[in-house]
Structure 1
Amino acid sequence: MEYNTQKTQLHMPEYGRIIQQLVERCKELSSKEERNEMAMAIIDFMGQRNPQLRDEENYKHKLWDHLFILANHDLDVDSPYPFPTKEQLSEKPKKMEYPKLQGDFKFYGKSILQLIEKAIELDSGDEKEALIEVIANNMKKSYNVYNKEHVTDDVIFRHLKELSENRLDLTGIDSLEKSKIYYTSNNRSNKNNNNNNKNQSKKRHNFKNKK
Structure 2
Amino acid sequence: MTFDLEYNSGRTKLIIPEYGRHIQKLVDHCVSLPSKEERNTMAKAIIDVMGNLQPHLRDVPDFKHKLWDQLHIMSDFKLDVDSPYEQPSQEELREKPQPLPYPKSASKYRFYGTNIQTMIDVALTWEEGEMKEALAFTIANHMKKCYLNWNKDNVDDDVIFDHLYELTDGKINFKGRDGELVDAKSIQRTRTSQGKKKTTNKNSKNRKK
1:22 alignment partner, one of 22, 26, 42: 26
Letter in 2 for 1:124: G
Question: Given the alignment, which residue of 84, 89, 93 partners 1:80?
Answer: 84
**In the TM superposition, what is the alpha-carbon distance from 1:124 to its structure 2 partner?**
2.5
Alpha-carbon spacing, 1:119–1:72, altered in 2? closer, same or farther (3 Å): closer
Give the TM-score of the pair, scaled to structure 2.
Answer: 0.68
For the structure 1 residues 139 and 14, does the alpha-carbon distance in structure 2 shift closer, same or farther, using more than 3 Å as the test?
same
Unmatched tracts of structure 2, length 5 or more? 187-209
In structure 2, distance between residues paired with 1:98 and 1:10: 35
**In the TM superposition, what is the alpha-carbon distance from 1:47 to its structure 2 partner?**
1.0
1:199 — aligned with what?
none
Contact 1:10–1:20, Cα closer than 8 Å, also in 2? yes
The equivalent of 2:57 in structure 1 is 53
Unmatched 5+ stretches in structure 1: 190-211
CA deviation after TM superposition for structure 1 residue 129, in Å: 4.3
Q: Is the 8 A contact 2:27 2:74 kept in 1?
A: yes
> Is the radius of gyration larger for structure 1 or structure 2?
1
Give distance in 1, aligned partners of 2:96 and 2:24: 26
Query: Over aligned residue pairs, what C-alpha RMSD do you find?
Result: 3.3
Q: 2:47 touches 2:68 (CA, 8 Å); kept in 1?
A: yes
Match of 2:93 in 1: 89
Q: Which position in structure 1 is the counterpart of 2:37?
A: 33
Comparing 115-124 and 50-59, the one that deviates more: 115-124
Identity of aligned residues (%): 44
Scaled by the length of structure 1, what TM-score is found?
0.67
8 Å contact kept, 2:106–2:112: no
Q: Which residue in the other structure is 1:209 paired with?
A: none
Offset from partner CA, 1:82-126 (integer Å, 9 cap, x none): 22222211222222233321422443224424544358647624x
The size of the alignment, in residue pairs, is 178
Secondary structure at 2:82's aligned position in 1?
coil
